[in-house]
Amino acid sequence: MDTIFALASAQGKAGVAVIRVSGPSALEVGSTLSGKTLPDRGMTFSILKSDTGEILDEALVLSFRGPESFTGEDVVEFQVHGSNAVVAAMLDELEKLSNVRLAEPGEFTRRAMDNAKLDLTQVEGLADLIDAETEMQRKQAQVILSGGLRKIADRWRSDLIRAASLIEVTIDFADEDVPVDVTPEVNKLLSGVMFDLNREIEGFSVSERIRSGFEVAIIGAPNVGKSTLLNALAGRDAAITSEYAGTTRDVIEVRMDLHGLPVTLLDTAGLRDTDDHVEGIGIQRARDRAEQADLRVFLANEHEVLDVRFVDGDIRLFPKADMRQSPDGAISGKTGEGIDYLVQHVFETLKNRSVHAGISTRARHRNALNRCSQSLDRAIHVLKDGPEFYDIAAEEMRSAIRSIEGLIGRIGVENLLDEIFSSFCLGK
């Protein structure tokens, strides 16, 4: 493997910047720049110099002999002062060396996976942790990064291998009397895995929303204060407000952290019949996004009917509390009346849904779980047809095992790796 380097901390001026080197020549590179023999594992304070003897910086140099490192290879990290000039000088000096090259996006993490330091789900968890914006997203990513999904998948795989081996023993001794009927144990193993799989599949929609953000749509007739309410919730002028009906013609999105939950607020076009073609497109988009949203906030007066389905958890409030004789059940983005109640209602509703979240978070996970579940369902039904069909049942079990192995990246994911790792920055 080549020895690679890159800036591992964020671009821009900072107190400290971290430059990472990984590969067979990493310790040699560290010794060249620091002028010291680096320990297999430790930290040294060094004056870093160029090949001409010019001082580059004073830095902490951390060394990790493989496989006890992030990538599983020899790794050196330079903690230098975080000015753009220092970082540029360090990178230029590393680029001069003949035995190293600049890393590609995600290459450090890919080497960690190649060297069995991380599995594919942990790689995805690391990517989610880097992108986490809220506390709930951080906790979710940490579970996956710590191997939570892999541990469950390994248990499923172990149970399925046991079930398949029992059935295959029966097939091998088909012409002899097998002293023990293995089907009760096999059915118990398959049913247990099937139960866990279905529970995980059911919790996917919530866990995926935690990762990408819940959507809350504000809907109502034109000029009822939807955009004013959005601005009040966002704490800024995210949407144009006007006394003229039909100002909002597209869906305006604002992301926010709601007590640790990631939420995207949607300000939609006012719902009404119109001859304006462009406004009509906006109204249709409003209906579509409202139907797809996790929660809807209806701003509507008494007896007013909106052409959007009201479902459990949605909230209906009277608009413009500041212009009503009684503010009960009403809200105003202008005065703030009712906003605390709305925020708490949305938070409690989405928090209760989050309790049912699974561990899997990506469409790739869901697809692998669905394939596994379908294979197991077929195996369970075939087993009921008797011993002459056990070979078919065993093949279905092997298919389920392959789906689980694909989930954690052991087989069949080569075509996904380039796409996954390209989303990482150079230093990861």
What's the confidence (pLDDT) of residue 392? 92
Query: What one-letter code names the amino acid at 109?
Result: T
Answer CATH for 135-209+361-423 from 1.20.120.430, 3.90.550.10, 1.10.3720.10, 3.40.50.300: 1.20.120.430
What's the confidence (pLDDT) of residue 365? 93
Domain extent listing, the chain:
3-115, 135-209+361-423, 218-354
Global pTM exceeds 0.85: no
| CATH number for region 218-354 | 3.40.50.300
For residue 287, the tally of other CB atoms under 10 A from its CB is 19
What's the confidence (pLDDT) of residue 284? 72
Q: Is there a shared CATH topology between the 135-209+361-423 domain and the 218-354 domain?
A: no
What's the confidence (pLDDT) of residue 251? 72
> Are the C-beta atoms of 72 and 116 separated by less than 8 Å?
yes
Per the document, the length of the chain is 428
User: Each residue of 33-46: b (16+ CB within 10 Å) or e?
Assistant: bbeeebeeeeeeeb
Instruction: List binding-site positions.
Output: 20, 77, 117, 223-228, 242-248, 267-270, 428
Instruction: List binding-site positions for Mg(2+).
Output: 227, 248
pLDDT, one tens digit for every residue, the chain (428 residues): 799 999 999 888 999 999 999 999 999 999 999 999 999 999 999 999 998 999 999 999 999 999 999 999 999 999 999 999 999 999 999 999 988 999 998 899 999 999 999 999 999 999 999 999 999 999 999 999 999 999 999 999 999 998 988 888 777 655 555 556 778 899 999 999 999 999 999 999 899 989 988 999 888 887 777 788 888 887 766 554 444 344 444 678 888 888 899 998 888 766 655 556 666 666 777 777 888 889 988 888 877 777 778 888 888 888 888 888 777 888 888 888 888 998 999 999 999 989 889 999 999 999 999 999 999 999 999 998 888 888 899 999 999 999 999 998 876 555 555 655 666 666 66
What's the confidence (pLDDT) of residue 194? 95
Q: Where are the beta strands (DSSP E) in 331-427?
A: none
Instruction: List binding-site positions for GTP.
Output: 223-228, 242-248, 267-270
As a whole number of angstroms, the distance between CA 426 and CA 19 comes to 11
| CATH number for region 3-115 | 3.30.1360.120
Instruction: List binding-site positions for (6S)-5-formyl-5,6,7,8-tetrahydrofolate.
Output: 20, 77, 117, 428
> Are the C-beta atoms of 279 and 221 separated by less than 8 Å?
no
